């Protein structure tokens, strides 16, 4: 008997430059999440963050494969459909977050949660987390990391541009600190959802 689970994740991102203010103590833009908004699929989530392509698919797929406990569902196909509603920078990180939330909403057993964080390095070496499209274009290097929730290990990395080894370690440390905010947000949004129903 075959079971097919579809998880649809709609990503909504605010457009416009310098729109929502960044929260205190965190340089990530404001984000919100809504779950179970589509009735047909088994699970769905919408992730709103800040206002190529087989390669990107493969990165997201491999990250999901590393955390999903596939051995508990033999002969099963899990399809994750990501539809970009609008792109205001940090697209890959947003896709990763949406994919993770959708898998949680569908009830797929996973060994850890994961989140995506993007860092941009501009010409004088300043680090900007969660850059807008304009900041990404002007940056010297843009690094996207996927980190797991258990030990903040690096699951996936995709980088563009030239940077040094020390800058990489700085970005990784900043991304690990920022991922705490994302995971706390996951927890809060799930608590809100299950306390209502």
Where do contacts with another protein occur on this chain (CB under 8 A)?
52, 54-55, 58-59, 61-66, 143, 146-148, 151, 153-165, 168-169, 172-173
36/158 with CB nearer another protein: 158
Burial 153-187 (b: 16+ CB within 10 A, else e): eebbebeeeebeeebbebbbebbbebbebbbebbe
**Distance of closest approach, residue 15 Cβ to another protein, in angstroms:** 23
106/119 with CB nearer another protein: 119
- The DSSP secondary-structure symbol of 70 reads G
How far from the centroid of its chain's Cα atoms is residue 125's Cα? Answer: 24
**Distance of closest approach, residue 145 Cβ to another protein, in angstroms:** 9
Q: Is 24 helix (H, G, I), strand (E, B) or coil?
A: coil
40/54 with CB nearer another protein: 54
51/102 with CB nearer another protein: 102
**Distance of closest approach, residue 109 Cβ to another protein, in angstroms:** 17
The sign of the dihedral angle between the CA atoms of 56, 60, 61, 63 is positive
**Rounded CA separation 146/62 (Å):** 11
**Distance of closest approach, residue 172 Cβ to another protein, in angstroms:** 6
């Amino acid at each position: 008997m075959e079971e097919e689970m579809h998880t649809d994740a709609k990503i909504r991102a605010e457009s416009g430059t310098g729109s929502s203010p960044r929260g205190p103590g965190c340089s990530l833009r404001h984000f919100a999440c809504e779950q179970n908004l589509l009735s047909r699929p088994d699970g769905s989530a919408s992730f709103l963050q800040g206002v190529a392509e087989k390669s990107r698919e493969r990165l997201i797929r491999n990250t999901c494969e590393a955390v999903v406990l596939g051995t508990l569902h033999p002969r099963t196909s899990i399809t994750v459909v990501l539809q970009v509603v609008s792109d205001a920078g940090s697209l890959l990180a947003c896709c990763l977050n949406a994919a993770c939330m959708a898998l949680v909403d569908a009830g797929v057993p996973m060994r850890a949660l994961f989140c995506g964080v993007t860092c941009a390095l501009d010409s004088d070496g300043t680090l900007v987390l969660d850059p807008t499209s304009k900041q990404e274009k002007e940056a010297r290097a843009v690094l996207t990391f996927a980190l797991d929730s258990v030990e903040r290990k690096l699951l996936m990395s995709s980088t563009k541009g030239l940077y040094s080894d020390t800058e990489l370690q700085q970005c990784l440390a900043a991304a690990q600190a920022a991922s705490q905010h994302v995971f706390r947000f996951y927890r809060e949004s799930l608590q809100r959802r299950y306390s209502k129903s």
